[in-house]
Amino acid sequence: MRSTPHKVLGAGALTAAVVAALVLPGTPAAARPAAAPAACTPAQVVGNGGFESGTSPWSTSSSTVITSRSGQTAHGGSSYAWLDGVGSTHTDTLSQSVTVPSGCDAATLTFWLHIDTDETTSSVAYDKLTARIGSTTLGTWSNLDANTGYVQKSVDVSAYAGQTVTLSFTGTEDGSLQTSFVLDDIALDTSGGGAPPPGDSTRTPAAPSYTVDLSSDTSGTEWTGHESVTFSNASATALNEVYLRLWDNYHGTCDAMPVRVTNVTGGTAGAPSGACTALKIDLPAPLAQGQSATIGFDLGITVPSGADRFGHDGAYSFIGNALPVLAVRDGAGWHLDPYTDNGESFYSLAADFKVTLDHPSGLLVPATGTSTDTPGSSGRTVTTATASKVRDFAWAAGPFTRISGTSPAGVAVNVYSVSGISSSSAQSMLSTAKSAVDAHAGRFGAYPYGELDAVLDNNYWFGGMEYPGFVLDVVSSTALTHEIGHQWWYGIVGDDEYNSPWLDEAFTDYATDLALGKTGTNCWSSVSWASSAEKITNSMAYWDAHSSRYSTVVYGYGKCALHDLRRVLGDTAMAKLLKDYATAHWYGVSTTAEFKAAAQAVTSTDLTSFWAQHRIEG
């Protein structure tokens, strides 16, 4: 995310070194070598899912199925698939062969569907669209499902891992009154599976699964409801307690906490600690290795005023780090570090989230994960967001302007803008996001989080901030490229952000340079250390005491050290190192020692002096 200098720079002055984005941490698992290959290579396997690259590899019943003609509109871009809409007996088909990688425990088909009809019945399905994979029917929709806009559909197709099958859509009309089935932004994302993530087998609580139901007031600044989390103990040492991180209580006081947890079940709550950002929950009995437990609680969230990662800028609320998440216990004990506003403190393990947000229909609610909207009570909408293997969950709420598109590799991208952001700026940022997500994916592995939401506001003092599948940003192509890079370096490849901030910020700034075509030539020659204690690998405790140097050293010197390492190893070896390292730590936790070992393993050159020169310790 941000560093202190962002406070004094206008949006146009942001550079790669100072528009740092936020980053998240790591995942539990049995220990294994850092270089061990993952059994599943995450991928998006549908070709040309946005129909922006002609017709290939799709097969269609006629040349008019994939189109950009008037009469319907695309969900993103300019082209879409239009089945039927003739008003007489008619069948249209759309299909392609897809290979679902083996070893993956998650494979999800998503697509956006718009249905309009001239049928007047409210009870008879005259015209139908059927989606199939192989010979299996995934779903059927009809004229009874007509809607005014696009609705995203999501289907689990994990059973087809390791198979090559035909994905098909068939639309049929009867003899009168047209029904149009319009499809766009089709994707089939795979992830997970195989060996557990690498690292310290003592990291626990493991594999958290969060279920959250919240309802907002009319403004979207007050949210109340319930949260529960199920988890297991990965460590040989029993769990007697867990801790909830209530990070956003930093933005209030213990007498007026913005995040309030009450009526705890499944354990006994103690007194909040860490300026009320940590809440101990004693478990009713010790939880042995491999055992699971669930705790639940009522939750209240009050969003304070301010264009912050947790705050509201007038009618627009930004709700990052507000959901309580489990703290991590590893070989060093419980990580209960303080909140830092200078960077990030967040260290959490990859988790699953299902979050239901009931809100006024006038508010758009972009969120982590894949979202679907359904009607709620009068004047309200229920947004249900699901996300797998993410380290946190964030959302926003407000009367945003939204534009959407699909990257050439098939990632659905949505840009949400507050008032005052021009349409040309939003379109430029959408183009940047589509390019950046594909550039990073090409270097480090396919983007696994389904859609990607970017929420724009030039009043953010911090420049930009990252969450899984969701970023906050000013209008800056460099900043947005950086924040999207955090989807890999903190999101997918986690780290302890408080104790090792360089592992996400330096790596993300290096990735940003590569995406923007910058080679970092001679950038290490400008390095000038402020003291013998200053090191790229210092913790946020050090940088909070030396805040003016944080961005310069962690972002600037950190990325230059990686450029220097590339010159030592060679371009090809460095590219392979980072892609293999990301694959081996997919949904896991990176440490400085593991990265140094991985780098040393790809060269016969002794890197000891390199690490010393660049002040990379650990």
pLDDT band at 192 (very low <50, low <70, confident <90, very high): low
Pairing of strands 179-191, 395-397: unpaired
Pairing of strands 80-84, 66-67: antiparallel
Sign of the four-CA dihedral 139, 60, 149, 118 = negative
Bigger pLDDT: 42 or 518?
A: 518
The answer to whether residues 532 and 554 touch, using CB atoms and an 8 Å cutoff, is no
Q: Is the pLDDT of residue 200 over 70?
A: no
Element of type H or E holding 429:
helix 423-444
Q: Is the pLDDT of residue 15 over 60?
A: no
Q: Is the pLDDT of residue 7 over 50?
A: no
Separation of alpha carbons 475 and 461, rounded Å: 12
The answer to whether residues 323 and 212 touch, using CB atoms and an 8 Å cutoff, is yes
Residue 494 is given by DSSP the state: B
Element of type H or E holding 477:
helix 477-485
Q: Is the pLDDT of residue 271 over 80?
A: yes
- Reading the block at residue 277, the tokens are 């950002």
The pLDDT assigned to 31 comes to 30
Average pLDDT over residues 19-48: 48
The answer to whether residues 540 and 497 touch, using CB atoms and an 8 Å cutoff, is yes
Separation of alpha carbons 96 and 74, rounded Å: 20
The answer to whether residues 261 and 246 touch, using CB atoms and an 8 Å cutoff, is yes
pLDDT band at 8 (very low <50, low <70, confident <90, very high): very low
| 183: three-class secondary structure by DSSP | strand
Separation of alpha carbons 429 and 452, rounded Å: 13
Cα separation values, 351 from 121, 196, 209, 348, 419, Å: 44, 13, 6, 9, 34
Instruction: Report the predicted TM-score, pTM, of the whole model to 2 decimal places.
Output: 0.76
pLDDT band at 479 (very low <50, low <70, confident <90, very high): very high
What are the tens digits of pLDDT across the range 322-334? Answer: 999 999 999 889 9
Average pLDDT over residues 174-187: 94
Residue 204 is given by DSSP the state: B
Q: Is the pLDDT of residue 305 over 50?
A: yes
Helices (H), 516-605: 540-545, 547-550, 558-569, 571-584, 592-601
Nearest CA-CA partner of 397 in 353, 361, 449:
361
Question: Cα 475 to the chain's mean position, in Å?
Answer: 20
pLDDT band at 40 (very low <50, low <70, confident <90, very high): low
Element of type H or E holding 264:
strand 259-265
Separation of alpha carbons 382 and 360, rounded Å: 9
